[in-house]
């Protein structure tokens, strides 16, 4: 009978908290069906989403304010460069995914900011998704009109 070593200290995934070979800290965020891969490194404050300025990509003020509030609350606005790759979902889902990914990347960048990120909800995954439509019904919960006769 062979014995399995349960030591996870040599696991490269568990210890990967530093920057990658190019100096970027990574964070992945998800919301609804949107996925955002966020990269962060010290710099001049450039914020790009899918190779566009974040103001051009997110047209809603609410979405832009949500993104910038993460950097403002952690006092990193203008001190780090952020590059995001978003796919799937709509604008609101993508904005929520970027907020979560940015929070996770900042946590890896500076772990002393974790308490600020947690109390503002930037590390909490929003698990709500669209409920599927069921057969015999008009929608996910809406039924067809009932007729007695």
Distance between CA atoms of residues 12 and 10, nearest Å = 6
Distance between CA atoms of residues 142 and 147, nearest Å = 15
Q: How would you classify the pairing of strands 34-42 and 47-49?
A: unpaired
Look at residue 55 in the predicted model and tell me its pLDDT. Answer: 92
Look at residue 16 in the predicted model and tell me its pLDDT. Answer: 54
Q: Cβ distance 32 to 89 under 8 Å?
A: yes
Tally of residues, the chain: 149
Look at residue 19 in the predicted model and tell me its pLDDT. Answer: 85
* Inter-axis angle of helices 91-109 and 61-73, nearest 10: 10
Domain extent listing, the chain = 25-119
This prediction has a pTM of 0.83
Q: Cβ distance 89 to 129 under 8 Å?
A: no
> Tens digit of pLDDT for each residue in 52-80?
999 999 999 999 999 999 999 999 999 99
> Tens digit of pLDDT for each residue in 22-33?
889 999 999 999
| CATH architecture type of domain 25-119 | 2-Layer Sandwich (3.30)
Distance between CA atoms of residues 87 and 122, nearest Å = 20
Look at residue 1 in the predicted model and tell me its pLDDT. Answer: 52
């Amino acid at each position: 009978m062979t014995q399995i070593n349960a030591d996870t200290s040599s696991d490269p995934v568990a210890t990967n908290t530093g920057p990658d070979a190019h100096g970027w800290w990574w964070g992945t965020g998800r919301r609804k069906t949107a996925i955002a891969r966020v990269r962060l490194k010290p710099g001049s404050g450039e914020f790009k989403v899918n190779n566009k300025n974040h103001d051009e990509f997110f047209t809603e003020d609410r979405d832009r304010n949500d993104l910038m509030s993460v950097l403002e609350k952690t006092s990193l606005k203008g001190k780090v460069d952020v590059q995001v790759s978003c796919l799937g979902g709509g604008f609101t889902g993508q904005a929520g995914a970027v907020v979560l990914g940015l929070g996770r990347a900042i946590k890896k960048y500076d772990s002393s900011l974790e308490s600020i990120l947690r109390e503002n909800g930037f590390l909490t995954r929003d698990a709500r998704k669209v409920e599927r439509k069921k057969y015999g019904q008009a929608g996910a919960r809406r039924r067809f009109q009932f007729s007695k006769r």
